[in-house]
């Protein structure tokens, strides 16, 4: 029997609707103040410009403020640093997102590290990563949070389950493994040096692929009845493809995300959720949403 399709578009719409309600409640509680997201876009990469425009549009749709700071590709490091420091100190700015990658010679890791951890809505600073590793309250990267929400919506049982994450990036693979561990799964992280990758994947009750290689995960890598989450976004001659061979794997898995329409829509939904959470973290008297 073909797998159940996990509809990321619909689940993300539900998250956005909840954020819209919570933003209204925030504004009522704090005299009309609204959470605000500042995006910094350095250079003129068209793909990055589309991503940033999408994030700004999404902010307005949920009733948040959006501030975009486009900078020329040749902007000196010191000017980017000054902008981050100014935004760190601005009470109207709840969250700061530096769109990555930044053009050379700028260092995206260094610059991201200068964002106030309470405004780190991408969850990429060393403080945010450390808080996650220790299981303490903090801002988590958006895409792994989105995957947790998809697993929840699909009714996946995480406690005691074998979870395999293919990919170990700071942006996705590592925080994904931490979140699964926090949910009491038994977690294996794979990467380019993993021996017998197919064999390790076959053990998984929950299989998550975030590699960047079109249709790498084959049907015979998947345990019958597994839940398969495809994070990959690869541009191919026949359009956008995930890291999972969807048509074959859907005949083996119990549930699977499509590409597009699976993980992708969840990322912006959780950026909005993080911006609201950041706004609350900056109001010490209030509870975190």
Residues that bind ligand NAP (CB under 6 A): 143, 166-169, 171-173, 190-194, 197, 210-213, 231-234, 263-264, 267
Q: Smallest gap, in angstroms, from Cβ of residue 58 to ligand NAP?
A: 13
For 239, list phi and psi in degrees, rounded to 5: 95, -165
Active-site residue, from 22, 116, 120, 122 = 122
Whether residue 122 lies in the annotated active site: yes
**Residue 157 a catalytic site member:** no
Nearer to ligand NAP, 88 or 169 (CB): 169
Would you state the structure tokens that stand for residue 8, as one six-digit string?
Answer: 């990321």
CB of 252 to ligand NAP, least distance (A): 20
Nearer to ligand NAP, 199 or 212 (CB): 212
Using the minimum distance from each CB to ligand NAP, give the nearer residue, 171 or 181: 171
Which tokens belong to 286?
């209030």
- If the CB atoms of residues 26 and 172 are measured against ligand NAP, the closer one turns out to be 172
State how far the Cα of 123 lies from the Cα of 97, in Å rounded to an integer. Answer: 10
Q: Which of 22, 56, 99, 245 is catalytic?
A: 99
Long-range CB contact pairs, 171-175, < 8 A, 24+: 171/124, 171/141, 171/143, 172/141, 172/143, 172/144, 172/210, 172/231, 173/210, 174/129, 175/123, 175/129, 175/132, 175/140, 175/141, 175/144
Give the torsion through C-alpha atoms of 266, 269, 270, 274, to 10 deg.
170
Q: Give least dist CB 93 to ligand NAP, A.
A: 23
Cα(16)–Cα(2) distance, integer angstroms: 29
Six-digit token string for 155:
């009714």
For residue 282, indicate whether it is catalytic.
no
CB of 71 vs ligand NAP, minimal distance in Å: 23
* Residue 176 contacts residue 153 (beta carbons within 8 Å): no
Catalytic (active-site) positions: 55, 99, 122
């Amino acid at each position: 029997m073909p797998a159940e399709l996990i509809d990321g578009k619909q689940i993300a719409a539900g998250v956005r609707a909840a954020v819209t309600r919570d933003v209204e409640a925030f504004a009522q509680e704090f005299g009309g103040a609204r959470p605000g997201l500042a995006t910094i876009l350095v250079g003129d990469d068209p793909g990055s410009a589309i991503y940033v425009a999408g994030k700004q549009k999404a902010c307005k749709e949920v009733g948040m403020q959006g501030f975009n700071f486009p900078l020329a590709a040749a902007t000196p490091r010191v000017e980017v640093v000054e902008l981050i420091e100014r935004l760190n100190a601005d009470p109207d700015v709840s969250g700061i997102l530096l769109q990555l990658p930044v053009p050379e010679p700028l260092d995206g890791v260094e610059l991201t590290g200068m964002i106030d951890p309470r405004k780190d809505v991408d969850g990429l600073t060393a403080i945010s990563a450390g808080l996650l590793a220790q299981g303490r309250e903090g801002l988590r990267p958006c895409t792994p949070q989105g995957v947790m929400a998809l697993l929840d919506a699909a009714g996946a049982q995480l406690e005691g389950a074998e979870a395999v994450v293919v990919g170990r990036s700071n942006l996705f693979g590592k925080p994904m493994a931490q979140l699964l561990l926090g949910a009491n799964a038994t977690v294996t992280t794979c990467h380019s040096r993993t021996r017998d990758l197919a064999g390790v994947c076959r053990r998984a009750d929950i299989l998550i692929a975030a590699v960047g290689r079109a249709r790498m995960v084959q049907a015979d890598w998947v345990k019958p009845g597994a839940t398969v989450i495809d994070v990959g976004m690869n541009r191919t001659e026949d359009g956008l493809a995930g890291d999972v061979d969807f048509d074959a794997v859907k005949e083996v898995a119990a549930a699977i995300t499509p590409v597009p329409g699976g993980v992708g829509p969840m990322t912006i939904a959780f950026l909005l959720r993080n911006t609201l959470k950041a706004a609350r973290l900056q109001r010490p008297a209030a509870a975190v949403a």
